[in-house]
Structure 1
Amino acid sequence: MLVLVAALAGPVAAQVPEPDDYRGEPYRAPVPSTLAGAEVVDAAGAIALHAQGVPFVDVLPRKTRPPELPEGTVWREPPHETIPGALWLWNTGYQKLSEVEHARLVDGLEKASGGDLAAPLVIFCRADCWMSWNAARRAVEMGYQRISWFPGGIEQWQAAGGAALVSAEPVAP
């Protein structure tokens, strides 16, 4: 019975230290409970910030055509579901960003904040995903002063009863 109670309580938070640099593969792994220069919010905090109208930034990668598909095979990009109103800045949470990805993050954060480095922003992805940690760290390093990192991502959002996810359109390259 104790095992069942522990399982229902959820996973035990791993004690993961903040790295000195951006984190690479594997991106889906336990994350730190902190991010220097940012506030870490749980699902209740994220839901409250959303209700206040704070902009949300989703950094989950975009699914692309698998390279092993035979020539002529029809491929349709699957829909991406996110928190309502979130700006989907796809592929901006990797350890290393291309110039295009970096520009997408810079331009997207400026759009989400209205160009105000003191404006609050919430950055998220999936639960236990380093991409949101990387992107939030970059935002802090760019001078954004009110970054909230939501490490629980869409899984914790849904589990906490947040608004239903909606289909998102990727921000233009």
Structure 2
Amino acid sequence: MKRFAYLSAMLCLWPGAALSQDSFGGSQSSRPQQQQEQQQQQQQQSQSREQMDRQSVPQQQPQQRPSNADPQSAAELQDFGVPATSQLHAGAMHGPTPSSIPGGQIITTKGLVELIQGRQTPFLLLDILGGPEILPGAVFAVPAHQAGNFNDQTQREFGGFLQQMTGGDKETPLVLYCQSTQCWMSYNAALRAINMGYTNVLWYRGGIEAWKAAGQQTTYPQQ
């Protein structure tokens, strides 16, 4: 477990671990004021696009709910009839998502809480949303949501970021989340990590909405 020691100290449950929203892990506090203002404008534009997508994409009803899951987990595992795909999603980022992800696993709020409270397996928690609230200990990796291909610049930059954060250990559990089951951003980011060969990619499909619905605490990005 030595290879995970530095990750545990840096990330797992470190309240100030949230960093820049417009890059992979860059500190907001270290940026000049002008760049911070530009970042805030980009965040507002991103949130505006998300709201437009939310208004324009019709909500689909789930086909079924797992009978062996608690109500919270069942809601996070709803099957909207959207087939899983190994290709990056290029459409609206707000809309029904698949109920599985090729090469990865879905983790529910219950599972994530157990992972955090257990403290036995250090992991990397990645926020792909870039909103005003984050999960405690999360690190921003918002650009990883972008459509494109697995040979583009986003993939190379994301790969370098994960290489640095994991020390090159591709067995490091990665937990990625965005808004909710109606958000593709973390799905794309998870696919990118899977394509790089990471073997423990956990897509937190319920996202920050499920986290808050379960009564869990959020925090604010470091300013």
Q: Could you say what the CA RMSD is over the residues aligned between the two structures, in angstroms?
A: 2.5
1:8-27 map, 5 Å: 13-27=79-93
Structure 2 vs 1, CA of residues 119 and 149 (structure 1 numbering), >3 Å: closer, same or farther?
A: same
Is structure 2 residue 147 aligned with structure 1 residue 81?
no
Is structure 2 residue 111 aligned with structure 1 residue 45?
yes
Structure 2 unpaired stretches of 5+: 1-73
Shift of 1:16: 0.9
Is structure 2 residue 31 aligned with structure 1 residue 31?
no
Shift of 1:102: 3.2
Q: Secondary structure at the match of 2:175?
A: strand
- Residues 42-61 of structure 1: CA distance to partner in whole angstroms, max 9, x if unpaired? 1111222233342201112x
Q: Which one has the bigger strand percentage?
A: 1
Partner of residue 76, structure 1: none
Query: Letter of the aligned partner of 1:94 in structure 2?
Result: Q
**Deviation >4 Å, runs of 4+:** 9-12
CA distance in structure 2 between the partners assigned to 1:22 and 1:106 by the alignment: 16
Partner of residue 124, structure 2: 55
Partner of residue 147, structure 1: 201
The range that moved more, 116-125 or 15-24, is: 15-24
* Percent identity (aligned): 31
Is structure 2 residue 189 aligned with structure 1 residue 135?
yes
When the two structures are superposed, what TM-score results if normalisation uses the length of structure 2? 0.58
Q: Relative contact order (alpha carbons < 8 A, sep ≥ 6): 1 or 2 greater?
A: 1
In structure 2, which of residues 132, 145, 154 is the aligned counterpart of residue 93 of structure 1?
145
Partner of residue 160, structure 2: 107
Structure 2 vs 1, CA of residues 111 and 155 (structure 1 numbering), >3 Å: closer, same or farther?
A: farther
Structure 1 unpaired stretches of 5+: 1-8, 63-78
Shift of 1:108: 2.8
Q: Secondary structure at the match of 2:143?
A: coil
Q: Secondary structure at the match of 2:145?
A: coil
Structure 2 vs 1, CA of residues 17 and 50 (structure 1 numbering), >3 Å: closer, same or farther?
A: same
Shift of 1:123: 0.9
Partner of residue 69, structure 1: none
Structure 2 vs 1, CA of residues 50 and 105 (structure 1 numbering), >3 Å: closer, same or farther?
A: farther
Give the total of aligned pairs. Answer: 144
